Structure 1
Amino acid sequence: MGRMGLTTERVVRAGAELADEVGFEHVTVSEVARRFGVKVASLYSHVKNSQDLKTRIALFALEELADRAADAVAGRAGKDALVAFANVYRDYGREHPGRATAARFPLDPATAAASAGVRHARMTRAILRGYDLPEPEQTHAVRLLGSVFHGYSSLETAGGFSHSAPGSEESWARILDALDALLRNWPAHPTP
């Protein structure tokens, strides 16, 4: 261990907490060093640079999110699994806005293949098997769900729904009902 008990895990966790407070885009090695009251050079044995720090925060967020999603969908199927999975994404975005942004950080292919992102994809596909979607339709549905979950959470966290009626809770419930209906009645052929 280094000075002040610094470890890579502590540095990454501090970066994740900073992301939640100031936004993922504002996380730098220098800001994390300030948190610990150390010089930037003290962190370079734990992270290479700000890009490496952001990648590690993204991996941390993906793992944390995958663990929550796995717990939420265990033993559920169909709409119950869909709603539980969706609520994990929404709740995580509310609780950890910076980490939720980090979970969408572009990773190089090798890093992505070894990340918890693979678990997210497997869980999403497991939920979709309950809707009997063949490939390539499953891939289209995975993209749709990811877009809705991340998009809604991002807009809601940014205050996009705070000044209009009906409230965002009602909209969220209606959106999940609509997604369930769409998945049960997935179009057979693409619109020309």
Structure 2
Amino acid sequence: MVRTGLTAQRLTRGGAELADEVGFEQVTVSALARRFGVRVASLYSHLNGSQDLRTRIALFALEELADRASAALAGRAGKDALVAFAEVYRDYARQHPGRYAATQLRLDPETAAASAGVRHAQLTRAILRGYELSGEDQTHAVRLLGSVFHGYVSLELGGGFEHSAPDAGQSWSRVLEVLDFLLRNWPEP
């Protein structure tokens, strides 16, 4: 019997909130059942196990992040767009560390192709067109930006910058300035 009020969407949102509280890797169907005060079996009419739950959280977080990035990029170009895009990622990771971790979940190719991950790549490429990058250079730059953003945010979330000066926010600003400079002066192959 399906418990009234429980839906896959409600459970996904509850799982995303739980991920922010306890960490994405700690999210299981059992933990979610405890959160909702129900038996584990009650969730199996909506979910196909913990991996299904984690995938749903990842898709939810990717969509949420893509929506924020799209809104931030509207009407922006060049460095302004780059900084807005980067700030969305950093802010999201700091506000929702579990959801941000979920965005890094490796999805199967079919699920990935239908996810908001495609929008993230399109948004990044739109920024790079403002720097007149195309083809392979654009792909290299997409990978560079993803690596820098994810690397910086991961180190920051892990406490890697807590006990050193200057402030992590100052370093972040400088990193974005350097990325803008690099993109404007992209070397020829």
TM range (shorter): over 0.9
Alignment partner, residue 99 of structure 2: 99
> SS state of the match for residue 135, structure 2?
coil
Q: Structure 1-normalised TM-score? A: 0.96
Alignment partner, residue 86 of structure 1: 86
- In structure 2, how many angstroms separate the alpha carbons of the residues matched to 1:186 and 1:70? 25
Asked whether 1:138 is paired with 2:138, we answer: yes
Which ranges in structure 1 are unaligned for 5 or more consecutive residues?
none
| Residue identity opposite 1:179 in structure 2 | L
Deviations 1:29-82 (A, max 9, x none): 000000011111100111101100000000000000000000000000000000
Which ranges in structure 2 are unaligned for 5 or more consecutive residues?
none
Deviations 1:118-142 (A, max 9, x none): 1100000000000011210111100
Alignment partner, residue 112 of structure 1: 112
- In structure 2, how many angstroms separate the alpha carbons of the residues matched to 1:182 and 1:40? 51
The alpha-carbon deviation at position 2 of structure 1 amounts to 3.4
Deviations 1:116-175 (A, max 9, x none): 001100000000000011210111100111111111111111111111000001000000
- In structure 2, how many angstroms separate the alpha carbons of the residues matched to 1:184 and 1:170? 21
> SS state of the match for residue 151, structure 1?
helix
Alignment partner, residue 50 of structure 1: 50
Alignment partner, residue 69 of structure 2: 69
| Residue identity opposite 1:5 in structure 2 | G
| Residue identity opposite 1:61 in structure 2 | A
> SS state of the match for residue 3, structure 1?
coil
Alignment partner, residue 155 of structure 2: 155
The alpha-carbon deviation at position 4 of structure 1 amounts to 4.4
| Residue identity opposite 1:25 in structure 2 | E
